[in-house]
Amino acid sequence: MSALCQKRTFRPLSDTPLFDIIDVSLNSRDIAMKLPRRKFLHLATAAAALPSLAGIANALGYPTRPVHIVVGFPPGGAPDIIARLIGQWLSERLGQQFFVDSRPGAAGNIGTEIVAKAPPDGYTLLLAVSTTAVNAALYTNLNFNFIRDVAPVASIGGTPFVMVFNPSFPAKTIPEFIAYTKANPGKVNMGSQGIGTTPHVCGELFKMMTGVDFVHVPYRVNLMPDLLAGQVHFYFGPMPQAIEYIKDGRLRALGVTTATRAEALPDVPAIGEFVPGYTAVGWFGICVPSGAPIAIVDKLNAEISAGAADPTLKARLIALGVEPMVRTPSEFGKFVVDEIDKWTKVIEFAGIQTL
């Protein structure tokens, strides 16, 4: 991972509530990000402002050949599951195969870089996730700039993360977990897909807000086998990945990261019921290389939005714990920029550094 990033240093922040912290000065990184962020939102706004160009996409007959949806995480995880659902939907609607192209590594940065450097012709898509926004906040020396090199297309949906444990772990509730971890500092470990992934920062946020101490164990491959075997104690798992393990009893869920309980797991409390103010939401969306034809962006947005309204696909997403979210390219672009700003504050507060 060292080839993709460099270490950062962080300044201490005040004791202002975490998401109310406002930067009062601009460092060189702030200045460097200003123009790309404006470009990201400008490209998204342009797509929304020219709906009449949608007819051009139909005239072009897009797609005329298979399309690749690049997923920067291993097969079997939540991004892979969602990408396959959306790929199947788009294949049926548009008459060409939308293949899932798994390119795991470097917390999703390898897959994002592939899309950032791909031809902007609409035939290479990115399954963007909440970790994509965390990466944009965390890594300062990548071979691409997410906001400059990638353009928003459509939001798919949002989902809680679930704090899941191997059933052999002694704590059965959030208060019991906090008490046990405080009594055994450094002896409890948490798995994630890597430094800076959303499951990692979910854990760091929990650590900050509760004062507990646990060891972070980053994985480069699927961590579920080790979690099921008890070699790692717990994990903030995306709902689509964790829900079947919870339902069949192979994992125990102690809480969800949304402000309220999730419809798919109504008996699992929100972490915020015990840790007031705790909340973190995962999300999924589609992006393309910057410069892709607005007509194609518009067409993809329309088809993905139609999927969110389709009773069958909507039911499948909800069953996985994903609440469909329809956004225009402009709205999705603003949402992503807001997410980057939010996680920048968390990363600086926690002092998270890449290796």
Domain boundaries, the chain: 2-159+281-350, 161-273
Tokens of 4: 């993709």
The CATH fold assigned to 2-159+281-350 is D-Maltodextrin-Binding Protein; domain 2 (3.40.190)
Find tokens 């949402």 and name the residue. 335
Angle made by CA atoms 53, 58, 63, in degrees to the nearest 5: 115
What global pTM score does this model have? Answer: 0.74
The overall longest dimension of the chain from CA atoms, in Å, is: 66
Per-residue pLDDT tens, the chain, 355 aa: give them: 333 333 333 233 333 332 232 232 333 344 334 445 555 555 555 444 444 444 454 436 899 999 999 999 989 888 999 999 999 999 999 999 999 999 998 889 999 999 999 999 999 999 999 989 999 999 888 999 999 999 999 999 998 999 999 999 999 999 999 999 999 988 999 999 888 888 999 999 999 899 999 999 999 778 999 999 999 999 999 888 899 999 999 999 999 999 899 888 999 999 999 999 999 989 999 999 999 999 999 999 999 999 999 999 999 999 888 989 999 999 999 999 999 988 898 798 878 877 5
Rg (CA), the chain: 20
Find tokens 């949002």 and name the residue. 158
Q: Which CATH number fits domain 161-273: 3.40.190.10, 3.90.70.10, 3.40.50.720, 3.10.180.10?
A: 3.40.190.10
Q: Do domains 2-159+281-350 and 161-273 have the same CATH topology?
A: yes
Tokens of 18: 């975490």
Identify any residues that bridge with 323 across adjacent strands, giving them in sequence order: 158
Query: How deeply is 180 buried, as exposed, middle or buried, from its count of CB atoms within 10 A (0-12, 13-18, 19+)?
Result: middle
